[in-house]
Structure 1
Amino acid sequence: MWHLSRHCSGKHHFHAIALVTIHEPWGADRVGTSMSSHIEFRKLAAELDGPAFLPGEPGYDAECATYNLLTPLRPAIAVGAATVGDVRAAVRFAGDHKLAVAVRGGGHMQPYTAEGAVLITLDRLADVTVDGGRRTARVTGGARWEEVIDAASKEGLAPMSGSSTTVGAIGYVLGGGQSPIFGRPYGYASDHVTSFDIVTADGVLRTVSAGAEPELFAALRGGKGNFGVVTAMEIELFPVTSVLAGGIYFPGSATGEVLRAWRDWAATLPEQATTSVAVQRLPPVEELPEPLRGAHVVHLRYAYLGPAETGLELLAPMRAAAPALIDTIAEAPYKTAAVLHNDPVGAMPYQDRSLGLAGLPDKALDKLAELLGPGTPIPLTSVELRALGGALDRPPATPDSVPSRGLPFQFFGFAVGGDDLDELGRRLDRLFTAMRPWADPKHRRMLNFLSPEEALDPQSLREVYGAENYDRLLAVKRRFDPNTMFRMNHTLR
């Protein structure tokens, strides 16, 4: 296995920031007034165990660093929370001064803007404690999935981690979370949370579960960061030590054949199997094996949660679909298998788009091959299709807010680069406009794939959640965050 790491530089953009200045309960003019005196800031800093920074101070830029270099964070104050008490103090300070709160969790779980806000970072609060007997893990702050995997594996267990093991576990679960290994067999990662610790807008620390504040518990599982700062969660673990998983890289010249074969094959798979496919333009970096450097490829991803022999038998049609450049599918320890997507790990400038698809008829695949195949006019970094279904369609044991149940396919694309943002955006828009005839009529999409524009636009969110679900979430928002303090990401209005 390897990771694709890109170290790019580019222009920053601020179009997302403009969206958060409209229709706010607290006017933006209050920001300058409330921050005019450093005395109040120094009082807050003295109360904290972790550091706090003002713009221009040493350490501010590092504290505000982001995974997406096109969405820089420029808060009025950055608080590096080292304790739950720090989180509570920062939230109370924001309330006293009528400031918004933005939360940066682990990895690329970041807000899309923090302009004029109190930014709370959770890296110093990161920890994982595993109870092997109960098969649970307590995950705090900005802990990444790789930390959870390491701790769980020592007990012969595994978590429902996502396609990137460097992403923050809590932020991922707040958006539902679709595991490339456990997804179809066991549903969304949020289905397997037993409790959250959350600091709400009043500065109170609450522990919520199916039996304690059940409406807030349901809202958190799919409601993203709308209701407070989640400082900890308890999740279920699974008795898995190894799994059949990996990928096959086909040449881009076989795009049409591989996509059709994958569509037909995915429809036959049992729930123990999870798969996705991506058309990619890989960078010419030494970290990649020679056949993949700078190559146009179709990357099949596959995992089977069961006997490896059975999983390999099921894989046979795809191994025969076209000649492979590289085939990494094999039984491996969960820690190795968990990175089967080979997602990039380094910060980069990128734009992305997503769309839920109701199906993939021949015309849809022909259009994708036309736009993404060899010599085509849209050379995007990665465009992927995830086959959903299985347990991802079934309702959880206790109510939640995940809006994508029943969605057959998640479509997602991203473009890396900072030299010509408008051109990258046009390429993405052209591709996704072309695929809209096959969009899900209920507007369902997986929340963790929403672009900054979509996540900050209340009309887009209402469509994704559906009116009934959205209104139910809004009622919980009004109760726990009546002044919309938490409004920097997937904001309910």
Structure 2
Amino acid sequence: MALILDAHYAVDSEISFDDLRARLTGSVHTPYGPEYDALVSPWNLAVDMRPAAVVAVRTAEDVVETVRFAGAHGFTTGVQATGHGAHSSLAGHLLIVTRGLDEVTVHPEGWARVGAGVKWSKLVAAATPYGFAGLNGSTTDVGIVGYTTGGGVGPLARTYGLAADRVRAFEVVTGDGVFRRVTPTQHPDLFFALRGGKGAAGIVTAIEFDLVDLPSFYGGAVYFDAEDAAAVIDRWRGWADALPDLGTTSFVIFQLPPLPEIPPPLAGRMTLGIRFVWTGDPDEGARLLDEMRAVAPVILDDARQRPYAEIDAVHADPVEPMPVTDPAILLNGFPAEAAGRLLQVAGPGSGSPQVMVEVRHLGGAYARDGAHPSAFSHRAAKFSVLTLGVAADAGMAAGALAHADQLFAALGDWDTGGVWPNFGIPHDRASALRSYDAATLARLRQVVETYDPQGVLQAGAYTRS
């Protein structure tokens, strides 16, 4: 007899989780318990996570016990910390929630150790008193481990490269139920796979990484009316390509709702924002951004010298959970023709349903290999394109996705065929082939077969398909 919880996961109804509970300092929750829904709910409310049980771990040993229990009963395990980057097919029978692994230690020598449940915001608060920064993403509201294992491309990428390139060590539980410390010299195959391979190779319990000396930066965003988008983007293309590695930039087409928390110049209309982070002399950064300010009337200017604690102001990403669609692609170029096609589909008068269409400029340190090989396969990409649509119901979700497909088709002449693992979560064969080149995927498959021979880790299933 089986207890069917959804189309993916079924467990024998005679199996009790009491034995697992007895081994843990954490807790086990089933769909009939009061805490289950809060634990499984991801940031993207459009994603439905329905595992047979949720294990809220408090120690690395809890993860070991859960993985071993899963292996003994033929279950699979998923993992979730903050719930960003969730995909329903990755929940597994037992979803391990790592929020309780919350240690944060910043060393004055310039490196940090954090548990798997820690968000970047907590690290920023601990590191900025020392004048240090971590290579966080566009928002510090996401988890450090999930972001870094996907490569980690943030607003400092052209200056300092990927977050994954700064990793010193992982502590991880592999699918065979063994706790391992992983460094460039200890289990180098795992060290390769864990930097870019997301959770395919193991469940990370802690991570150690180098920080950068950056107490402040010049940056933020400068906004224009969408009617000036063609002129601003045309100038941005050449301006961005000429930037030294000290600068990282993107532009965003916003259609933000008329809500009280939205700045009035941006609320209820289509606008264009130029985002900019400059890690060098602030006067030089201001002079460079003045070149963009001069293109058209500025409706909101939020760029200035800032303490690193204000890094979230650059992208101003939403923090509260919401239902969204967020597909992305990578481009090998963004010439004038590409910009024209993008504006035709997503600019003024296009009828675009997207709340946000973002184009990030890459290159610089992003394009250079780190000190150690990693599973991140997209150094040659020149631009990233991301869309964000509201998915309050099935119709809205379908409309936003169809429009994103139309936009990506318009940019198809420059599409690399790839996507960052953090923007296109690898969960099946098709998504894996977009996230990794053939050689990297083969290497990931070998690592998974070595350390997870029973296929306990749900995130590694795509390597076997």
* Structure 1 residue 427, shift from structure 2 partner: 1.5
**Partner residue, 1:465:** 436
Contact 1:111-1:489 at 8 Å conserved across structures:
no
Q: Over residues 279-302 of structure 1, what are the superposed CA-to-partner deviations in whole Å (9 max), with x where a residue is unaligned?
A: 111121111221111221111110
Matched ranges for 1:4-83 at <5 A: 31-33=10-12, 36-38=13-15, 40-83=16-59
Please state how far the C-alpha of 1:167 moved relative to its aligned partner: 0.2
- For each residue in 1:245-302, what CA deviation from the matched residue of structure 2 results, as whole angstroms up to 9, or x when unmatched? 1001111111211211111110110001000111111121111221111221111110
Q: Secondary structure at the match of 1:469?
A: helix
The answer as to 2:162 corresponding to 1:188 is: yes
Deviation of 1:115 (Å): 5.4
Whole-angstrom distance in 2 between the partners of 1:57 and 1:310: 57
> Which residue of 1 is the match for residue 3 of structure 2?
none
- What is the one-letter code of the residue matched to 1:213? H
1:114 Cα deviation (Å)?
A: 4.9
In the alignment, is the contact (CA less than 8 A) between 2:78 and 2:92 conserved in 1?
no
Q: In structure 1, the residue corresponding to 2:313 is in which secondary structure?
A: coil
Alpha-carbon displacement from aligned partner over 1:219-270 (angstroms, at most 9, x marks no partner): 1111110011100000101111111110011111112112111111101100
Residues 1:281 and 2:255 aligned together: yes
1:292-371 → structure 2 map (5 Å cutoff): 292-371=266-345
Corresponding residue of 1:5: none
Q: In 2 relative to 1, CA 115–128 (structure 1 residues): closer, same or farther, beyond 3 Å?
A: closer
Bigger mean CA offset, 202-211 vs 313-322: 313-322
Give the letter aligned to residue 395 of structure 1: D
SS at the partner of 1:301? strand
Contact 2:253/2:271, CA 8 A, preserved across alignment: yes
Q: Is the 8 A contact 1:244 1:337 kept in 2?
A: no
SS at match of 2:392: coil
Is the CA contact (8 Å cut-off) linking 1:199 and 1:205 kept in structure 2? Answer: yes
The alpha carbon displacement at 1:106 in A equals 2.4
Can you list the C-alpha shifts for 1:307-330, whole angstroms capped at 9, x where unaligned? 101111121221112111111110
Please give the alpha-carbon distance, in whole angstroms, between the structure 1 residues aligned to 2:208 and 2:171: 9
Q: Equivalent residue for 1:394? A: 368
Q: TM-score, normalised by structure 2?
A: 0.95
Q: Are residues 1:123 and 2:99 paired? A: yes
TM-superposed deviation, 1:107: 4.9
Cα deviation for residue 179 of structure 1 reads 1.8
Q: Determine which of 355, 379, 404 is the counterpart of 1:428.
A: 404
Aligned to 1:13: none
8 Å contact from structure 1 (residues 353, 432) kept in 2: no
| Mapped contact 1:139–1:233 kept (Cα < 8 A) | yes
State how far apart, in whole Å, the 1-side matches of 2:68 and 2:284 are.
55
**Partner SS, residue 403 of structure 1:** coil
AA matched with 2:104: V
Partner of 1:479: 450
* Contact map agreement 1:100 1:116 (CA 8 A) in 2: yes
Cα distance in structure 2, aligned partners of 1:368 and 1:324:
22
Q: Which amino acid aligns with 1:261?
A: R
Contact 2:171/2:182 (<8 A) preserved: yes
Between the aligned partners of 2:87 and 2:351, the Cα distance in structure 1 is: 32
Q: CA deviation at 1:124?
A: 1.1
Shift of 1:343: 0.4
SS in 1 for 2:213: coil
Partner AA of 2:319 in structure 1? V
Corresponding residue to 1:148 among 99, 116, 123: 123
Q: Deviations over 1:413-458 (max 9, x none)?
A: 1211323122222122111122112212xx33322111x5xx2231
Q: Is the contact made by 2:176 and 2:453 (CA closer than 8 Å) also made in structure 1?
A: no
User: Is the deviation greater in 110-119 or in 246-255?
Assistant: 110-119
Note if contact 1:76-1:115 (Cα within 8 Å) is conserved in structure 2.
no
Structure 2 gaps of 5+ residues are 1-5
What residue ranges of structure 1 are gaps of 5+ in the alignment?
1-16, 22-27
2:352 aligned partner: 378
Q: Deviations over 1:377-422 (max 9, x none)?
A: 2231111111000011111111111111011011111211323122
Amino acid at match of 2:14: S
- Of 432, 437, 442, 2:413 maps to 437
Tell me how far apart the structure 2 counterparts of residues 203 and 156 of structure 1 sit (CA, whole Å).
39
Q: 2:377 aligns with which of 403, 407, 412?
A: 403
Aligned residue in 2 for 1:174: 149
Contact 1:175/1:221 (<8 A) preserved: yes
Higher relative contact order (CA 8 A, sep 6+): 1
Deviates more, 1:85-94 or 1:424-433: 424-433
